[in-house]
Chains A and B, each alone.
Chain A
Amino acid sequence: MLKITNLHANIGDKEILKGINLEVKPGEIHAIMGPNGSGKSTLSSVIAGREDYEITAGHIDFEGEDLSDLEADERAHKGIFLSFQYPVEIPGVTVTNFIKTAINETRKARGQEPMPANIMLKQMREKMGLLEIDSAFLSRSLNTGFSGGEKKRNEIFQMAMLEPKLAILDETDSGLDIDALRIVSNGVNKLKSDKNAIIVITHYQRLLDYIVPDFVHVLHQGRIVKSGDKSLAHELESKGYDWLKEEAAL
C-alpha cells in the first residue's frame, strides 16, 4: 500500500529525513517511535503532503503511484489521512459543516455524487456513538475551545467519517487521560480492517497497549535505526532510547 524508498526531506536548508525506507501493507499496524526531534512528525507531514518540506531524494509510492506531485487534498482523496498532533482551531466553521465539506469534496474528486444529508447524519450518529461524542459537539466551531481530549476524539471522528485506507496517527495519545485514551483506541481498533492500514506515531509505549502494532520502528536522527515487533516497544519503555542512540552512533 505505502512504500517509502530512501526518503530525504529538508525544511529550509536543514535535512530532517536522511533516507527512510518503510513498507506498509493492507491490514498492518506500524508504530514509529523515537526521541524528540528524530523526524517522526516530519515523516507524517511529508506523507500527507505538507508544502513546507522539500523532498530532496527518494520517493513515496501509495498503491503504486508516486505521491510527490500530488497536493495534500489529492492525497486525501486517494485515502491518506493524517490525524494532527495539534489539530487547528477554525472558528466559525462547525464540525458538521467541516466534515460535510471534506466528505463531499472527496466524493466529488472521486466522481461520486454528494452524500445525501440523511445518510451523512446517520453515519455521524453511528460514529459519534463509537467515540462517545455528545451530539452538541457537532454544532461547535471546529476545535475552537476544545480540550486536548476533545480535539483528538474529533480527529478520530473525522477519520471514522472519511474511512481512509491509510491513517497516520501523529501523537494521538498526547494530552489524553486514560479514559480518553481508551475511547480513542477503541475507536481506532473498530475502524481497523484487513483492507486498511495504520501508522501510529508515538513517544510512549502506553498507546501501543491499546492499539497493538505488527511492527515497531525506531526513528533517530532522520533514519529508522531499528525495526522489530511489539516487544521492541516494551524494550524501549524499560530501557529508554539511549542504548539505541549509542548503537546508532557506532
Chain B
Amino acid sequence: MEALKDKLESSFLVLENELNGEAQSAVHALRREAFQRFLQMGFPSKRHEEWRYTNLKPILKPDYRIFPKEDTSVEFKDIKRFFLSDQDTYKLVFVDGVYSSWLSETTHQGFDVCTFSNMLHKYQDVSDAYFAKALPKDEALAAVNTAFAKEGAFIRIKKNITADKPVELLFVSTDHGHEIMTQPRNLVVVEENAEVTIIERHQSLSESAVLTNTATEIFALRSSRLNYYKIQNDNDTASLIDSTSIKQYRNSSVNMGTFSFGNKFVRNNLNFFLEEEHTESTLDGITIISEGQTVDHHTLVDHKVPNCYSDEMYKGIYDGNAKGIFNGKVMVHPHAQKTNAFQQNNNVLLTDKASIDTKPQLEIYADDVKCSHGCTIGQLDDEALFYMMSRGIPEKEGKALLLYAFANDALRNVKLPALRKRLNKQIANKLNVNLDFEL
C-alpha cells in the first residue's frame, strides 16, 4: 500500500510537470487539493469504518503502472461484444485511459457526448460549476481519482432535449505484460427537463492485474430524467473501485442500476445527494458472483430536503467462496419531512463458504416520514424446488429458474429492451443455465 502511495506521489509530480500552462487553472488547484487530502488520509484500512469488511491490501499490492503506454492496437472487433447488440448508441471508448476517437461515436448536435479532457479545454464554465462538486471529500480513492482526473466521459444533455440514442461508455485495459492502474473520470450533466440513458463498462483485455479507480459525478438538474446502468463483468484479474456521486435537483428522476457478475474485486461507493424537493431516485443492484470474487456495495441516499422519494433494491447470489458486502445508508435530515425512503437487500448463499455482510443503516431525524428497510439472507426454497421438479423441471434448471426470478426483480427499472436482453442473458450465463426466455 505504501509503495503504491509513493508511486502515486511521484506520478502526481510527473502529471504536474506535463501540464504547462494548465497548472495554474482552477481545475488543477482542485486536483492538488485532492491529492493533499489523499496524502493525509492514505489508503483506507480495515480500521476505517467504511472499509471494515474489505481488505484493500491485496488489491493495492501489485506494482501498477500509473501511465501505461498508449496502445492503439485495439480494433472494433476486439470490443464489439461489450456493446449492446441491435441497439444504435453513442459510444465513448477509452483504451488504457486514453480516448480512442476511431472506436467512438460522439456528438455535439444539441448535446455533448465527448471527453472529459475536451470539456476541460472547451467549457471552463462547466468545469467551474461541476468539477469535484459532488464527490464527498472524505473518500480517499475518489480523492486519488480527482488528483489524476484527466480523461473520461463528458456528457451534457441540454435543456429540454431527450438524447436520441443511449450512450455507452467503455473503458478497456490492454495487455502490457504489466499491471496497470487507470483513473477514468466522468462528468454527466443532465440539464433542465432533459433525458438520457447511459451504460458504463470497464473491461480488461489483459492477463495481468488491472486496477480501475473510476469516479463519476452526475448532476441531474430540475425535471431531468437519467437512467444510468453499470455492467461490472470483467475478468478475474481485474479490480474496480467506483466512486459515483449524484446531485439531484427539483423534480428530477434518476434510476441507477449496478449489475455485478465479474471481476476479482469490486467496490462501489454510490452517493445520492438530494438537493431539492420532489426528486425520485432508485438504486437497483444485482450481484451474482462465485469462487474468488468480492463485491462490496456502499450506498448513501442523503435526504437533505422534504418530499423526496428513494427506493433501493439490491439482490445478491453468492456461490463458491464469494464474498458480498452491502452497506446501505439512508440519511433523513431533521427538516426532510414527508420523505419516502425504502431499502431492501436480499441475498442467497449457495454454499457454506460464501458470505455476505449486510448492514442497512437508517438514520432518521425527521418525524413525518415513511421509511422501511429489510435484509434477508437465505437459501433456496426447497418446497418451490420440489414443485418445479414435480412438473418435470430438473433440479439444476429449477434452481436457476428460482435464482433468476429472485434476481430479476432488480431489473424493474431497466426499460431499454436491448439492455434487458443483455442482462438476462448474462444472468443466465452466470447461473450456468440455458433458459430460452426472458422473464
| Residue of B whose beta carbon sits closest to that of A99 | B391
Q: Which of A48, A103, A105 contacts B390 (CB 8 A)?
A: A48
Determine if A204 is an interface residue (Cβ-Cβ < 8 Å).
no
Q: Which of A50, A109, A158 contacts B391 (CB 8 A)?
A: A158
Distance to closest chain B CB from A138 (angstroms): 13
- Are A90's CB and B391's CB within 8 A? no
Q: Using A88-B383, A88-B387, A92-B439 as known contacts, say yes or no to A73 and B395 having CB atoms under 8 A apart.
A: yes
Q: Which of A92, A94, A106, A158 has the most CB of B within 10 A?
A: A92
Which of A76-84, A122-130, A205-213, A240-248 sits within the interface? A76-84
Distance to closest chain B CB from A77 (angstroms): 6
- Are B389's CB and A94's CB within 8 A? no
Residues of A within 8 A of B76 (CB): none
Distance to closest chain B CB from A30 (angstroms): 19
Q: In whole angstroms, what is the CA distance A240 to B297 when docked?
A: 61
Q: In whole angstroms, what is the CA distance A60 to B395 when docked?
A: 22
Distance to closest chain B CB from A170 (angstroms): 11
Residues of A within 8 A of B406 (CB): 92
- Are A72's CB and B386's CB within 8 A? yes
Determine if B394 is an interface residue (Cβ-Cβ < 8 Å).
yes
Determine if B401 is an interface residue (Cβ-Cβ < 8 Å).
yes
Q: Which of B392, B398, B436 contacts A77 (CB 8 A)?
A: B392
Chain A, 60-97, CB within 8 A of any chain B CB = 71-73, 75-77, 81-82, 84, 87-88, 90-94, 97
Residues of A within 8 A of B386 (CB): 50-51, 72
Residues of A within 8 A of B126 (CB): none
Distance to closest chain B CB from A81 (angstroms): 8
- Are B437's CB and A97's CB within 8 A? yes
Q: In whole angstroms, what is the CA distance A75 to B389 when docked?
A: 9
Residues of A within 8 A of B402 (CB): 90, 93
Is chain B's binding surface mostly helix, strand, loop or mixed? helix
| Residue of B whose beta carbon sits closest to that of A78 | B392
Q: In whole angstroms, what is the CA distance A91 to B409 when docked?
A: 9
Q: Which of A51, A102, A162 has the most CB of B within 10 A?
A: A102
- Are B389's CB and A93's CB within 8 A? no
Q: Which of B387, B389, B409 contacts A71 (CB 8 A)?
A: B389
Q: Which of B383, B390, B395, B439 contacts A93 (CB 8 A)?
A: B439
Q: In whole angstroms, what is the CA distance A76 to B409 when docked?
A: 29
Determine if A100 is an interface residue (Cβ-Cβ < 8 Å).
yes
Q: Which of B390, B404, B405 contacts A72 (CB 8 A)?
A: B390
Q: In whole angstroms, what is the CA distance A75 to B394 when docked?
A: 11
Determine if A231 is an interface residue (Cβ-Cβ < 8 Å).
no
Determine if B275 is an interface residue (Cβ-Cβ < 8 Å).
no
Determine if A149 is an interface residue (Cβ-Cβ < 8 Å).
no
Chain B positions 138 through 162: 1 when the CB is less than 8 Å from some CB of chain A, otherwise 0: 0000000000000000000000000
- Are B405's CB and A73's CB within 8 A? no
Q: In whole angstroms, what is the CA distance A94 to B397 when docked?
A: 15
- Are B392's CB and A106's CB within 8 A? yes
Q: In whole angstroms, what is the CA distance A97 to B438 when docked?
A: 8
- Are B395's CB and A92's CB within 8 A? no
Chain B positions 372 through 411: 1 when the CB is less than 8 Å from some CB of chain A, otherwise 0: 0000000001011011111111110110011011101100
Determine if B416 is an interface residue (Cβ-Cβ < 8 Å).
no
Q: In whole angstroms, what is the CA distance A162 to B391 when docked?
A: 8
Q: In whole angstroms, what is the CA distance A88 to B383 when docked?
A: 7
- Are A90's CB and B405's CB within 8 A? yes
Determine if B435 is an interface residue (Cβ-Cβ < 8 Å).
yes
| Residue of A whose beta carbon sits closest to that of B391 | A102
Distance to closest chain B CB from A72 (angstroms): 4
Residues of A within 8 A of B393 (CB): 73, 101-102, 105
| Residue of B whose beta carbon sits closest to that of A100 | B437
Q: Which of B384, B392, B435 contacts A73 (CB 8 A)?
A: B392
Q: Which of A71, A73, A106 has the most CB of B within 10 A?
A: A73
Q: Which of B387, B395, B409 contacts A90 (CB 8 A)?
A: B387
12 contacts between A and B (CB under 8 A): A49-B390, A72-B390, A73-B390, A73-B392, A76-B390, A76-B391, A92-B404, A93-B402, A93-B439, A109-B392, A162-B391, A162-B392
- Sorted from nearest, which 6 A-B pairs have the closest CB atoms? A92-B405, A76-B392, A72-B389, A106-B392, A102-B391, A88-B387
Extra 11 A-B pairs, beta carbons < 8 Å, given A72-B390, A73-B392, A92-B404: A50-B386, A51-B386, A72-B386, A73-B390, A73-B394, A73-B398, A77-B392, A82-B390, A93-B401, A101-B401, A106-B392
